[in-house]
Chain A
Amino acid sequence: MLFWTILKTSLKALVAHKLRAFLAMLGIIIGVGAVISMLAIGAGARQSILARVTAMGTDLLVVRPGQSAFGGVMTGTQINLTLDDARALLTVEGVRLVAPVVRGKAQYKYYNRNSSSTLYGTSATYLPIRGFEIERGRVFTETEVDRQARVAILGPNTVEDLFGGADPLGETVKIKGINFRVIGVTKAKGDQGFFNPDDQAIIPYTTAMKQVFGRTRSNLDEADIQADQGYALDRVIADATALLRKRHRTPAGMPEDFNIRNQADIIESFTAMSRTLTILLGSIAGISLLVGGIGIMNIMLVSVTERTREIGIRKAIGARDKDVLKQFLIEAVAMSGVGGLVGAAAGIGAARVIGTFTDFNTSVESFSVVLALTFSAAVGIFFGFYPAWRAARLNPIEALRYE
């Protein structure tokens, strides 16, 4: 029997019981809608993390003291990364800028107002490496770094906390009890989720090490590197690693006492996190799709029982078992398929609404729509098969006698 004829018959049977078909489809509609909107939230989170990290600069390398391995036994090497190491890194081919960084929590005071955030002691190169721009004022000079000048560049949020609307340039703030002159304000970058780059203060690293944090040795918390555009990051990482191993006299075969991270690694770890989130949300949504399938199976079993006589008639005039099987299977798949389409529309709509009215970013990927539709059709086949098989194996004369 022709496929289109069967499909027409199936749709007619569904239209004959509109409310019942709709209720059975509702499970699939909700399931598919949930899958698509949940995956859209996952994909949106991934994309926004990617965009933020990329905004920080893809040519950024961060060198930190300490082994990159966790949980292992430390091998007795001293954890250190010195100012001289940072200077030496500039000789590595492909390294454009290096900024030594020491940091710590600090409290700032301006008359009776105060604020606290992370204080960075670094060089002027930190700003281009990290993608900061100066909104007002200026960056500190080489001379100011050399003579441990007490000058500070503040983030816009810190300025707001301390000065309200007043002009901070030239004013004196107390940082950990020491007077600093404000010489610049950075441009707002926006909250990054895991830290806020607009809530900070930047001072010369010399001042930070000797006067603020009181470090006797020239140990750094990190050294930030900006690689040359278009230069292979892997090469730069390898060369920098070789240089630091040599400087630290790390024996061959021993692990490094520092680690170099590239933005791609950070992107990867966040992508992995959002993937876990996506799988979690997706499987919860998948379960609701399964429940929808059970609803379809239920209604198909009722339908087969009700239409026993019809099945008997069809068999009496020459329908084979597989004709009857096909008919009921197509009916189940038509139901789950229509439910899937409506659910896809609902899911895309829900993702739009969530993206517009909440803080979540959403992004409907075509792959998730295809996945949800395929899955809903599969649910129709799977849960439609048993009722269809029951219909197909009915004995014609018993089916005809059924009241």
Chain B
Amino acid sequence: MIQADGLVKTYFVGGSTIRALDGVSFRIEAGEMVAVTGPSGSGKSTLMHILGCLDSADAGRYVLAGEDVSELSKDRLAAIRNRRIGFVFQTFNLLARTSALENVELPLLYAGQRQARDRAREALRGVGLEDRMRHEPSQLSGGQRQRVAIARAIVTDPAIVLADEPTGNLDTKTGDEILAIFESLNAQGRTIILVTHEPDVARHCRRQIAMRDGRIVDGA
């Protein structure tokens, strides 16, 4: 499903060079639920952005479902983000002054789908927010916002869901509820990759990839 070969990503910050990824290689099969762990600065977020086609690697190959992503055009990458990968952020990243329903509807509108409203409603029902559809993000709690973000990630029915510290801004109880949603998504056959630095969160996953200083130290 996902195959990474020698991914390298370098940043230049204030004159010094930071190697965020230093030759990362691994394979993830369809239907897996994987946690990427490691201390901050270990490169796990960078890896996630590359896997999510939000960013591209300087060197190495990233093959997604048999397709070499590093050679795709910007529009093709946008289409992959839209239909094949759902991304959930730590800070939710919902559009302000826009209702939950309209937020969830957005990927379908960019995909040019009909019946976007019905499908968005269905996705919100799936995360237990049928009574909050008309609310704007500022009127929702953190957990509710993350549920809206998950609904938005899965509304186009992608095979892969990536989550970057999805419980980082939530209390333990709410975090567990969110993780339960990811587990049920995995049970439906979706591939789930979580980035986290909390061992409790990582324990929910069958497989763990540990990173340090831009390299995989365990779980490849």
Contacts and interface: CB of A to CB of B under 8 A. Distances in A.
B93 interface: yes
Interface in A282-336: 309-310, 312-323
Interface residues of A, number: 23
A318 B75 contact: no
A397 B89 CA distance: 12
Contacts of A320: 74-75, 78-79, 110
A319 B108 CA distance: 10
B49 interface: yes
Contacts of B187: none
A145 interface: no
Interface in A114-148: none
A397 B51 CA distance: 12
Interface string A382-403: 0000000000000111001000
B74 A12 contact: no
A321 B109 contact: no
B107 interface: yes
A366 interface: no
Interface in A30-44: none
A358 interface: no
Contact of A317 (B75, B87, B96): B87
Interface residues of B, number: 26
Contacts of A16: 97
B158 to A, nearest CB: 10
B112 interface: yes
B74 A317 contact: no
Contacts of B106: 314, 317
B109 A2 contact: yes
A313 B110 contact: no
B111 interface: yes
B197 to A, nearest CB: 19
A321 B97 CA distance: 23
A395 B50 CA distance: 13
Contacts of A323: 110
A93 B175 CA distance: 106
B45 to A, nearest CB: 10
A396 B85 CA distance: 15
A316 B54 contact: yes
Contacts of B93: 309, 312-313, 316, 400
B110 A317 contact: yes
Central interface residue in B81, B97, B111, by most chain A CB within 10 Å = B81
B81 A318 contact: yes
Interface string B60-85: 00000000000000110011011100
Contact of B109 (A5, A12, A312, A316): A5
A5 B116 CA distance: 12
B54 A397 contact: yes
Contacts of A314: 95, 106, 110
Contacts of A322: 75
Contacts of B89: 316, 400
A317 B152 contact: yes
Interface in B87-118: 87, 89, 93-97, 106-107, 109-112
B91 to A, nearest CB: 9
A320 B79 CA distance: 8
B29 interface: no
A1 interface: yes
A94 to B, nearest CB: 72
Contacts of B130: none
B109 A1 contact: yes
Interface of A: 1-2, 5, 12, 16, 309-310, 312-323, 395-397, 400
Interface of B: 49, 52, 54-55, 74-75, 78-79, 81-83, 87, 89, 93-97, 106-107, 109-112, 152, 156
Q: Pick the 5 closest A-B CB pairs, nearest first.
A: A318-B82, A320-B78, A397-B55, A318-B110, A317-B107
Given A316-B89, A318-B156, 16 more contacts: A1-B110, A1-B112, A12-B97, A312-B93, A315-B54, A318-B78, A318-B79, A318-B83, A318-B107, A318-B110, A320-B75, A320-B79, A395-B55, A396-B55, A397-B54, A400-B54
29 contacts: A2-B109, A309-B93, A310-B95, A310-B96, A312-B93, A313-B93, A313-B94, A314-B95, A314-B106, A316-B52, A316-B54, A316-B87, A317-B82, A317-B87, A317-B107, A317-B110, A317-B152, A318-B78, A318-B79, A318-B82, A318-B107, A318-B111, A319-B78, A319-B110, A320-B74, A320-B75, A320-B78, A322-B75, A400-B54
